[in-house]
Structure 1
Amino acid sequence: MKHTSLPASSQARAGDPVTATAWVETPLQLLSVLEAHHAGRFARHTRVLPRSGAGALVDTVAALTDAGLPDGLAVLPPAPAPARHQNDSGVWFIGDAFSGQVQRTLVGDRNRDYVIVDDGLATLHLLRLLSRRRAAPLERARVRSSPLRRALGLASAVKLRAAARAGRVTVFTVLPLPEPLVHDAAAAGIRVVTHDFPWLRSLPGGSAPAEDRVVLGSAMVRDGLVHAEPYLAWVTEQARNGAVLYHPHRREDARTLEPLNAAPGVRVAPRGLPAELALRGLRARHRVVSLPSTAVTSLRVLLERHGTTVEAVPVPEPWWTDRAAPELRAHLSTFVADQKGTS
């Protein structure tokens, strides 16, 4: 699916609500909300409420504030829940529709427009659930919910599906969605709008690392989806012919970071900023290597004009643990297939 950017000069349609709020829990959600606001077609003023207690989110807010936030957007002090800032806006940017905080607010919410922004693989999973013929609980993949959480997830699905039928749900994404999924979403009343990070690309270029090869870190070891030993061996192998920069995933822990900090030829970058922000200064001499992830797609879109090569490497079968369901493995393989025809 071809990505198209929205003109920065576009404005919210006459008569549309002009104020939006956003509850963000991850750096990617924050970047996605900034791009949605910058597009100009959803709201003229946006208030972003970050979740408290998220260190990477604090770092990202600080970096983006220093760079200069888009006009009409303000970041509020962090809070543990979204409810108190939702009631007086006409548009709600939703980053994680599987979040219990979001669902509890959603089911008691008045009718408004909802704009769902990217939150990694969860965006595709959510769109598939909302596009089904019958309502299914909004539950995270690979998670077994309690009966109470399933009931909350079902109520949230019913609310969003009703809003979609009324033309009040948009998905704003950088991901290449399969055409059948876009068709199913349209049939459910969901509008899909794609972008290519025009606001982020408008910022002054970031610094370029001295290393020519960059490895994107993965949280799959911490999540128990792949074994640590082969993953660490793969990363260190990348440094066999020259130094590499390892950009850790925000959820990685000591199981991967401690060995890599001691590995010859591997420089582990500080955690905090998302790859889309920290690596936007890469150029044609750089090569990014990663296991399948949404960051692969977003970096391809972001760095295409610089000629940077971004390569997704399939996960070898012996790496997987028993916790990695076949459907998850198949879904991740789409991020490898999508690189065909790209630089």
Structure 2
Amino acid sequence: MSLRAGSAGSTPHGSRTLAFVESPVQLLNVLEWAHARSLGGGREASGTGPVPARARRAANLGATGARGAAGAAGPSAAGADLTLVVLSPTDPMTRGQLRRMVELARDEGHEVRWEEARGGPAAPFQTIGGLTRLLRGAERIVMGDPFSRYVQLLLTITRARDLVVVDDGTATMEFVAQLARGERLVRWHRKGGRPGARDLLFAPVSGAARRRLTPSASRRVEVFSSMPIEETPDGVTVTANDFAWTRARFGPPRITAGADLVGTSLVETGVVDGERYLNAVRTLARAHGATRYFAHRRESADKLHRLAAETGLEIVRPDLPLEVIARRGPIGRTVLSFPSTVVHTLPLALAGTDVKVAVCDIDPAWLTATASPRAQGFLSGVTGTARDVHRLAAVATA
């Protein structure tokens, strides 16, 4: 695969839209946004409730991703002036998924600029220096993670009057709520603790980014999301992401008789106790006959090795976001998950199939002593607001 290097001149200076992504899911949702914008998809709300979506493309491009007749005409009008900038992380699993997603983005006709944004002490300065001219010339900025310090710093440079935030999972719910309440931007699993020295040092940049993300007479802000948005900030346009691009591009999947279990990084982020989590996975797998465990890209190798040894589950390391993997298939007739983004996204990506998504609540006893005071309420909200899912009570663990 050929990637555009992050060097001067590798991206057309006339690009009207710059999209910054740091994860495979963010890149997927930029592709969904570009698809919805070009075809008028999604349901828009601006504080007045949803408006019915317009017609969708009906082409089914098959599990292999081959083009159908509707996709053969080349990139859409909205995609032609979109440049994707990948602020590459260092995690090998994330990088691998991002490279696969970049292939799909290039297939859609989008320009891609891969930045080794964390490739050493000088990398941030080189990345920002190389992007400054593009940032100042862009009319629209699309971002996947408004909590990212990298993105917040880039927002202080741009003059764009059109800002779009696409989903980065459940964090989008917290971002919109914090923006509506005028709070500082803090990830939900860190909220409640004291700001560290780096937080205090970065506070002026974070504050400036929050002000940039607040709509004004000269600045439009859109949130493109599949998550439930309960507190909409004044002036923010919320557009629903129903994964129309994913459904048109892949599937329908072959459905197997068994169950699949979706992993979570709640242990790695310090929210859930590792032993409690392992016991819960074992209990769920036995109760529902699960045979495969789709690992989250941030789950540690040691934890996954232990899960395989003690539960007998086949550990699957997806090379693409789970929404795409599930749509391509094969996928179990039942997909089991703990509270996470997929309880909102998988029912959309798998719409029209017979797959049932079931979510298991997190027992408060599973939380670590260092978990944020907001953790239980936030996770309960993720489960309680999910549509088209079957709810399971928290399983008993020793």
Select which of 96, 110, 123 maps to 1:73.
110
* Structure 1 unaligned blocks of 5 or more: 1-16
Select which of 14, 34, 37 maps to 1:37.
34
After superposition, the C-alpha distances for 1:19-54 in whole angstroms (9 at most, x for unaligned) are 211111011111110111112356652111112234
C-alpha displacement of 1:333: 0.8
In the alignment, is residue 266 of structure 1 matched against residue 303 of structure 2?
A: no
Q: Secondary structure at the match of 2:285?
A: coil
Determine the C-alpha separation between the residues in 1 that align with 2:244 and 2:16: 21
Determine the C-alpha separation between the residues in 1 that align with 2:285 and 2:151: 42
Select which of 86, 94, 114 maps to 2:163.
114
Determine the C-alpha separation between the residues in 1 that align with 2:137 and 2:219: 20
In the alignment, is residue 136 of structure 1 matched against residue 189 of structure 2?
A: no
C-alpha displacement of 1:304: 2.6
Determine the C-alpha separation between the residues in 2 that align with 1:209 and 1:122: 30
- Residues 194 and 286 of structure 1, relative CA distance in 2, 3 Å threshold: same
Determine the C-alpha separation between the residues in 1 that align with 2:367 and 2:135: 41
After superposition, the C-alpha distances for 1:234-268 in whole angstroms (9 at most, x for unaligned) are 21223326342100111111342121121353000
Q: Secondary structure at the match of 1:158?
A: helix
Select which of 222, 238, 241 maps to 1:170.
222
The equivalences for 1:1-20 within 5 A come to 19-20=16-17
1:11 is matched with none
Identity of aligned residues (%): 29
Q: TM-score, normalised by structure 2?
A: 0.72
Letter in 2 for 1:45: D
- Residues 74 and 18 of structure 1, relative CA distance in 2, 3 Å threshold: closer
The equivalences for 1:156-195 within 5 A come to 156-161=209-214, 163-178=215-230, 181-182=231-232, 185=233, 187=234, 189-195=235-241
Determine the C-alpha separation between the residues in 1 that align with 2:345 and 2:388: 16
Contact 1:45 1:72 in 2 (8 A): no
1:197 is matched with 243
Asked which structure has the greater RCO (Cα within 8 Å, sep 6+), the reply is 2
C-alpha displacement of 1:58: 3.6
- Residues 284 and 110 of structure 1, relative CA distance in 2, 3 Å threshold: closer
C-alpha displacement of 1:123: 0.9
Contact 1:280 1:303 in 2 (8 A): yes
C-alpha displacement of 1:208: 4.6
- Residues 22 and 79 of structure 1, relative CA distance in 2, 3 Å threshold: farther
Determine the C-alpha separation between the residues in 2 that align with 1:36 and 1:205: 20
1:23 is matched with 20
1:226 is matched with 272
C-alpha displacement of 1:77: 2.6
- Residues 68 and 21 of structure 1, relative CA distance in 2, 3 Å threshold: closer
Q: Secondary structure at the match of 1:131?
A: helix
* Structure 2 unaligned blocks of 5 or more: 1-13, 39-77, 118-123, 391-398
- Residues 292 and 243 of structure 1, relative CA distance in 2, 3 Å threshold: closer
In the alignment, is residue 150 of structure 1 matched against residue 197 of structure 2?
A: no
Determine the C-alpha separation between the residues in 1 that align with 2:332 and 2:79: 39
Q: TM-score, normalised by structure 1?
A: 0.83
Contact 1:27 1:56 in 2 (8 A): no
1:94 is matched with 143
Contact 2:308 2:314 in 1 (8 A): yes
In the alignment, is residue 299 of structure 1 matched against residue 346 of structure 2?
A: yes
- Residues 316 and 130 of structure 1, relative CA distance in 2, 3 Å threshold: same
Moved more, 106-115 or 309-318: 106-115
After superposition, the C-alpha distances for 1:203-244 in whole angstroms (9 at most, x for unaligned) are 132765757211110111111111111211121223326342
Letter in 1 for 2:148: S
Moved more, 230-239 or 245-254: 230-239
